[in-house]
A = this chain, B = another copy of it.
Amino acid sequence: MIKHLLLLIMVLWVNTGHAQNITIRNFPVPNTASAEIGPLVSGQPTPFWNDHPQTRDEWNLWVSQIAQGTIKQLPDLREKMQVSVESTQFSGVPGFIITPKQVLPENRNRVLIHFHGGGYVLNPGEAGTDEAIMMAGYGQIKVISIDYRMPPDFPFPAAIDDAITAYREILRTYPAERIGVFGTSTGGGITLALMLKAKAQGLPLPAAITVGTPWTDMTKTGDSYFTHEGIDNVLVSYDGWLGDAANLYANGHDLKDPLLSPIYGDVQAFPPTLLVTGTRDLFLSNTVRMHLKLREAGNIADLIVFEGLSHAQYLMAVDAPETKRYFKESILFFNQYLAR
Contact = CB atoms under 8 A, between A and B. Distances in A.
Interface stretch (A26-34, A149-157, A190-198): A26-34
A200 interface: no
Interface in A1-51: 2-4, 6-7, 10-11, 13-14, 21, 25, 27-28, 30-33
Contact of A32 (B2, B14, B280, B285): B285
A306 interface: yes
B32 A289 contact: yes
A188 to B, nearest CB: 16
A174 interface: no
Interface stretch (A73-81, A136-144, A220-228): A220-228
B292 A27 contact: no
Given A10-B6, A21-B2, A27-B227, A288 B307 contact: yes
Nearest to A281: B279
A284 interface: yes
B10 A222 contact: no
Nearest to A31: B221
A307 B279 contact: no
A27 to B, nearest CB: 5
Interface in A243-275: none
Interface stretch (A99-107, A125-133, A234-242, A297-305): A297-305
A325 interface: yes
Interface residues of A, number: 43
Interface in A194-209: none
A226 B291 contact: no
A306 to B, nearest CB: 7
A3 B28 CA distance: 26
A4 B21 CA distance: 12
A340 to B, nearest CB: 23
Given A4-B14, A6-B14, A284-B279, A223 B304 contact: no
Contacts of A303: 302-305
A122 interface: no
A187 interface: no
A227 B231 contact: yes
A306 B292 CA distance: 8
A222 B292 contact: no
B304 A285 contact: no
Given A7-B11, A10-B10, A223 B291 contact: no
Q: Which 10 A-B pairs have the closest CB atoms?
A: A30-B223, A288-B305, A223-B308, A27-B226, A3-B14, A303-B303, A10-B10, A7-B14, A289-B307, A279-B284
Given A7-B11, A30-B222, A291-B305, 10 more contacts: A3-B21, A28-B226, A31-B221, A32-B285, A227-B231, A288-B305, A288-B306, A292-B307, A292-B325, A303-B303
24 contacts: A2-B21, A3-B13, A3-B21, A4-B14, A7-B10, A7-B14, A27-B227, A31-B221, A32-B221, A32-B285, A32-B289, A33-B223, A223-B280, A223-B307, A227-B280, A279-B285, A279-B288, A285-B308, A289-B307, A291-B305, A292-B306, A296-B325, A303-B304, A305-B305
